[in-house]
Structure 1
Amino acid sequence: MKKIKLFTALGVALAAVLFIAADHVDAPGVAGSSADITDFYAFEPTTGSDNTVFIVDVQSNVLPDLTYGAFDEDVLVEINIDLDGDLVEDQVIQAIPRNGKMYFFGPFSPSSTGLNSEINVDAALGSVEISSQTAITKTTFNGISLFAGPRQDPFYFDFVRFNEVVAPSSEDNSGFNVPGTDTFDGANTLSIVVEVPNALLGTPTAQNVIGVPVYKTWVTTNRKQ
């Protein structure tokens, strides 16, 4: 198995199929970089589909003092999938940018788990040009669809009012305004999207609250050591 440089995890977000995880601009160690995970989605593209879509959003430009830039070439994004319920990754999908393209690896069974990751060059999946004004997608030989680039931030939240409520001053901060103000309106994130046939991932062993089989999955961002 060929590998390249060791990466150490910086950020993490959890999700399961049909659910999402969100975490915006509150991680000081990674804020303002593409190591900052904002949202992670995992879902069936259509009811009863044999595919699963994973969407990783990083680096929101919602706040005026937050610099919004490109994907960091020293940051590896890794989608982790647990198939046996022990909360340890059994399959991973990796994505890392180079020279205007996003390169993908996997799904594959990692030789090491936990905080440290290595890119498995033998599991090269393909690449897609990082989109700018026009969305560019690519489908690989085995039916996996790929995308990377800026997308509108889907998160709806009154971030300013939230800070006023949790850190009250002499003003009336007893609750949120109705209707609220979407602080994220017009903001963008950098998105990585992978649609994978379930046959390449393995059989899910968990169930969601309505009894649908789901994957236990989480995403990490890892910086090169």
Structure 2
Amino acid sequence: MKKTTKLLTGALALLLVSAIFVAADHIDAPSSTATTSDIADFFAFEPSEGSDNTVFAVDLQSDVLPELPFGSFDEDVLTEINIDLDGDLIEDRVIQAIARDGRMYFFGPASPAQTGLSSQVLTDSPLGDVEISDATPVVETTASGVSLFAGPRQDPFFFDFFQFNAVISPELDSAVGGFLPSDEATDTFDGANTLSIIIEIPNSLLGSPTATNPLGLTVYKTWVTTNRKQ
């Protein structure tokens, strides 16, 4: 299956079979149906200017309307943050996250067992784990200074979904005048949740960044994939 990708310029008691995971397709067309492996958003940033840490935040698609439950992490889906350190757009380090019995387990950063469309859980490189949050956020910080979170977070984008559909549907008269000004528009997804996996990690564990963004800042080349157990 096609790889689902978003781009941006102590021992554990957990026992995991070293299963092969094959990447799943992303909801990238109106006819696609959202799945538990759908990547909604991916963010990578410094938590503050000049910080020696990097934050990675992955939002997985869930029920998009506020009145619907936010669902749960799929235990057959491996989420993988990929980091390219030499500019060849092939992952040199990966951070993995997978849910088991109400907790999210993290592995890496480490060299992947294989690159490309398939992945294996790096059970020999445990990073830490955290209880999957519900109403109360839970953050776990490891001895190596890595902070971990997994659970529902409010959708980060303001989007007037119904007015957007009206604008792109010329047969509807409701779109006269185009998009509404911000004080009249409705945030359709206000109160809706995504399922988020967030990790703040010292750069010293990742390796040295080699890319430069349009602002002239040195950054990591990084992207995220989801992989479904086969």
1:27 to 1:115, Cα distance in 2 relative to 1, 3 A? farther
- Name the TM-score, length of structure 1 as normaliser: 0.87
SS in 2 for 1:120: coil
**Who is 2:51 aligned against?**
49
Alignment partners' CA distance in 1, 2:94 and 2:155: 25
Moved more, 184-193 or 2-11: 2-11
**Who is 1:18 aligned against?**
none
Alignment partners' CA distance in 2, 1:38 and 1:129: 22
**Who is 2:37 aligned against?**
35
1:58 to 1:109, Cα distance in 2 relative to 1, 3 A? same
Alignment partners' CA distance in 1, 2:75 and 2:199: 19
Shift >4 Å, 4+ stretches: 23-27, 64-67
Q: C-alpha root-mean-square deviation of aligned residues, in Å?
A: 2.2
**Who is 1:164 aligned against?**
166
- Name the TM-score, length of structure 2 as normaliser: 0.85
Deviations 1:79-105 (A, max 9, x none): 011111111111100000000000000
Deviations 1:114-142 (A, max 9, x none): 11111010011111000111111111121
Amino acid at match of 2:204: A
SS in 1 for 2:171: coil
More strand by share: 1
Q: Any conservation in 1 of the 2:166–2:172 contact (CA below 8 Å)?
A: no
Matched-pair identity in %: 61
**Who is 1:98 aligned against?**
100
Q: Any conservation in 2 of the 1:82–1:89 contact (CA below 8 Å)?
A: yes
Aligned to 1:178, which of 176, 181, 200?
181
Aligned to 1:8, which of 22, 25, 47?
22
Q: Any conservation in 1 of the 2:97–2:107 contact (CA below 8 Å)?
A: yes
Aligned residues: 212
**Who is 1:19 aligned against?**
none
Aligned to 1:76, which of 75, 78, 83?
78
- The question of 1:61 aligning with 2:75 is answered no
Aligned to 2:118, which of 97, 116, 119?
116
Shift of 1:62: 2.2
1:194 to 1:6, Cα distance in 2 relative to 1, 3 A? same
